[in-house]
Structure 1
């Protein structure tokens, strides 16, 4: 997924959230799986830090086969919201 794809996805999600739309495309985006690189970019953190969080069990991930790891968009969003200081 390119940087432009991620920015477009983020914009679509923000618009849907602002309008309160529960359209048929939203569940697709919520279930979107990101690689380390994509997830790190989405969270604005380094891949090294993301790998450390995963290794320490501090961030949710999906195991894909024996070695593959992916990060679900909805889980990343929830993880960020849990850490929001109000």
Structure 2
């Protein structure tokens, strides 16, 4: 038994991708993903986006090629990892 583990403990170990927070998280590293709004699309698979605080940045949209102006994307480390449906945003 590993150090710190208690015999008979009812708590299961965390699963890959499991999050204990309501904030959207990257399934690989568990860092928080940030929701942003697409302002402009660029031909080089990038988009100009803005977060809720008004900060703007260029992000890669290779994983979200369906992104359109006005969409809400989840961004992690400068890469859009998901597009939120209207009912989730």
TM-score (norm 2): 0.24
Higher helix fraction (1 or 2): 1
TM-score (norm 1): 0.25
- Structure with more contact order per residue of length (Cα contacts < 8 Å, sep ≥ 6): 1
State which structure, 1 or 2, has the greater radius of gyration over its C-alpha atoms.
2
Higher strand fraction (1 or 2): 2
